[in-house]
A and B are shown apart, each in its own frame.
Chain A
Amino acid sequence: MHEKVLDLNFAQRIPKLEQLVPVYAVIVAMIYPWSLLRFFWRLSSWLYFSTVGEIAVIFTYMMVVNLIETILVLLAPVLMSVLLPQKWFYDKFITKGSLLILLGLGYLMYFDNHLSFAAPFPLDLVYWTPAIAAAILALVFLLGWIGFLGKILNELANRLTIFLYISIPVSLISLLVVLVRNIF
């Protein structure tokens, strides 16, 4: 059995749906609230001059952007799973994928917090990005072997899947609204 698993080819190293869903849930749990927080922060201003319908449309655009972002981000662990040897990533896809997402998006949050039109572009952070990416990858592989951490991450990722029951249908409806508005 062990030998057989080691023989998995590229296509077979694409994670299965039950592996993908928890990792996707972690991505959703980080990306959607980031935008939602800003949406509610702006809401009081929009209520000054926008109708409920207009605010609803802004919300749909936001959901579509978030949907695209989450799918793009999911490609990162999937790509790693496909490209790296099976033992390195595929076998612990949920643990390492979740860790990669938490650390990667965490760094992106830090980066985003430094973006301001009033301040110079944070070039130093851009220069540091390759080193930080390498550090994140190293951490993923090191921490991914710690048993209890893996257990916690698996539990967390599985529990976060509850949010997909809201985010996916709302995003798909939003996508439909945006498409209809821009086709007709």
Chain B
Amino acid sequence: MSKISRRSFLKLVGAATPAILFPAVTSWAERNLNQGDASKPNVIVLLFDAMSARNLSVYGYPRPTSTNLERFADHATVYHSHYSGGNYTIPGTASLLTGTYPWTSRAINYSGGVVPGVAENNIFRAFGEDYHRLAFPQSMMANFIVSQFKADIDTFLPAGAFGKLDSLLSEYFPKDQNLALRALDDFMFKMDNKPASMVLGPVQWSLYYRDSARLPTEGYPRGLPHNVTYPLYFSLEDLFSGVASLIPTLPKPFFTYLHLYPPHAPYRASDRFDSKFIDGWWPEAKPVHRLSDGFSESKLTSARRSYDEYIASLDWEFGKLLDSWEDAGVFENSYVIITSDHGEIFERGEARHTTPLLYDPVVHIPLLISAPGQKTRRDIYAPTNAVDILPTLMQLTGKSIPAESEGKPLPGFGGVEDFERSTFTVEAKRNPAFAPLKQATVAMRKGNQKLIYYTGYGGKNSFEMYDLEKDLEELNDLYPARPAVAKRMREELLETLLAADKPYTK
């Protein structure tokens, strides 16, 4: 480990002090009055956290989980091979909002963030001040990323907006929300284990327990939906009606990033859909993966059913939102983008998305885009990635695409269907952000082929390769059987990884 000299230390302290003291000074200097041009199209990104494309009937899932999404798809462009940048919220959200892969943004760890050089090119800044920029990160992990860009956001709705109960403290520190979030809600008052605040921690915990016990739970047989480790309760009805009524009130043109927490666990289906999918349907059994948590098939099946019922519940509310927006004419002058930050997996002994695995259920996410006035459906099959959203929106709104963006405009919106293009998904939550990726999983999609690379998990580094056109369930590993294709893809993946690691390699 290199030693730091006294002189270097003093320099570091000197440089760090203004940044520690004055986080909002730069935003002061940059902020001007909004002067919107209402003829420009509005942009609504509606993101459902942890929504796997593989569990949506709009993508061919046998259970009718997304009938209203299907209705939306009738006048939208549907992307059939869209991938997230990572397999959980931090990298998934960062990829969408910065147009860069996690190995570039370095948003790879739990509660992690985007490195400053990349953060400067966030989607809110790219939209510029002629757009009213609104963010609603209902997911706390998304909050870690979005609050980094707060200086570029005109309206920042707290995670508890449209909720039933919100005990987050960082919302009282709007000028320093990102670090207040990290210091208070994610550390001193984090409600996952014994609090770091010895006296006020249990007080907050007790009040939260008292208040949450008083919440009405009608309509939710398994209890109200809530955030998994942060003190936030909500109902799907309130959430969707809040979002529905919010949009028509915004100054035009606007860009909104609405990161909704459902269908993220815990899965709390409404009574209309609870137990709806006790239908005897079982997915194809798959071998347990060596890196999985080893959940039994019965547990996975039960979890999958709850997840499907929760998706159907939110889809029901989404239907009401669609009606409301149709009545308000929102679709006439708005791009509406439905997507997710990552998927969810219930196979190979693995449940949910806290996993080193990158099989399709956890990284294949929905992407449906309705253009202003679009009346017919269009389907795109070429592989696309979350990093493509930013450049696409820049192109659609006549703005320049940041040079650092690693995405391309989407086919159908200025881009072309490119089956030979390589896209990546990166999982490295246990790897230090500012070091080369030594423990990671990387998936590369190129045409119909998907290569998965595992490194740093003990034993030898390994690869798997699948042909997703013929083997959608990723059961037949072609890596040994097609050495020429495997070699070409392996070399490309490793070269790209090496280049991404270069700034962090001594």
Contacts and interface: CB of A to CB of B under 8 A. Distances in A.
A56 B12 CA distance: 12
B453 to A, nearest CB: 21
Nearest to B177: A182
A72 B199 contact: yes
Interface string A97-115: 0000000010011011111
A30 B187 contact: no
Contacts of A35: 188, 196-198
Main secondary structure of the interface of A (DSSP, over half): helix
Given A35-B196, A57-B179, A49 B188 contact: no
Contacts of A39: 187, 196
A58 B202 contact: no
Interface in B106-163: 106-113
Interface in A72-92: 72-73
Interface string B44-66: 00000000000000000000000
Interface string B186-199: 01100111111111
Interface stretch (A40-48, A131-139, A141-149, A151-159): A40-48
B498 interface: no
A73 B108 CA distance: 40
A69 B204 CA distance: 13
A30 B104 CA distance: 43
Nearest to A111: B202
Nearest to A59: B183
A: interface residue count bin: 35 or more
B487 to A, nearest CB: 33
A24 B23 CA distance: 33
Contacts of B195: 112, 115
B175 A182 contact: yes
A27 B183 CA distance: 22
Leading 4 A-B pairs by shortest Cβ distance = A61-B183, A49-B112, A49-B433, A38-B196
A180 to B, nearest CB: 5
A54 B202 contact: no
Contact of B433 (A48, A52, A65, A178): A48
A124 to B, nearest CB: 13
Contacts of A184: 21-22, 24-25, 175
A73 B191 CA distance: 22
Interface in B176-214: 176, 179-180, 182-184, 187-188, 191-202, 205-206, 209
A53 B16 contact: yes
A181 interface: yes
A38 B451 CA distance: 40
B106 A69 contact: no
Interface string B412-426: 000000000000000
B: interface residue count bin: 35 or more
14 contacts: A34-B198, A38-B196, A49-B106, A49-B112, A49-B433, A52-B12, A56-B16, A57-B183, A61-B180, A68-B200, A73-B199, A118-B192, A184-B21, A184-B25
A121 interface: yes
Determine which residue in B24, B108, B197, B433 has the highest number of CB atoms from chain A within 10 A of its CB, and name it.
Answer: B197
Contacts, number: 136
Interface of A: 30-31, 34-35, 38-39, 42, 45, 47-54, 56-58, 60-62, 65-66, 68-69, 72-73, 105, 108-109, 111-118, 121, 126, 177-178, 180-184
B19 interface: yes
Contacts of B175: 181-184
Contact of B197 (A69, A117, A121): A69
A65 B189 CA distance: 10
A178 to B, nearest CB: 8
B20 A57 contact: yes
B229 interface: yes
B183 to A, nearest CB: 3
Contacts of A38: 187, 196
A105 B194 contact: no
